[in-house]
Amino acid sequence: FLQPLADGYTALTPDPVEEGASKFFYNLKYPVRLVANLLQGRLNGVWVESGRFAINSTLGIAGVMTPADNFKDFAPIKPEDIGQALGAWGIGPGPYLVLPLLGPSNLRDLGGLIGDRSVNPMKEPFSLIDDWDWEWRLALTSSEFIVTSPTLLERYQQLKGSAIDPYSSLRNGYTQFRLGAIAE
């Protein structure tokens, strides 16, 4: 069901709108990146992420645009998450997992995902916005899912098309990607 959804979204939505929506949802994940940088003691990351969030949320109209890209001190940096922080602390990955609708992961990153959700004010069950009706939360989560699905499916199709064994390729690719993200 994901492919028709992604195809419909990309067919009906102009590229600038797709890009703006993607940037909007990335901007909303600022608290996750902030906490992950703090947990790793990356104060420069805290500074850059905070500056980018402030600039993009105001001048960039809630993050739809990224005017912070024009400021040398706030050039984009690689995004951090709590799974990376756990890895930086020396917690091993544990077994490889493939989670329905969430895709590849491992036990450490699953714990990180729970941590990510706990500091993301827009996500249930840890939402800090108590007066939102469930319909608004569902709309926001569904919109984010629709916006991110074309990119995820494209990456998966590229991997699947070039792999003899897609499961092994995905497992190895995910493991190497996460090791690289933690090492940086």
Q: Dihedral sign, CA of 142, 144, 145, 146?
A: positive
- The helix or strand, by DSSP H or E, that contains position 105, with its residue range, turns out to be strand 103-106
The domain spans of the chain are: 2-183
What tens digit of pLDDT does each residue of 12-56 get?
999 999 999 999 999 999 999 999 999 999 999 999 999 999 999
What tens digit of pLDDT does each residue of 65-114 get?
999 999 999 999 999 999 999 999 999 999 999 888 788 899 999 999 99
pLDDT score for 127: 55
What tens digit of pLDDT does each residue of 95-108 get?
999 888 788 899 99
Task: Tell which residue, 121, 60, 50, 123, has the closest CA to residue 80.
Answer: 50
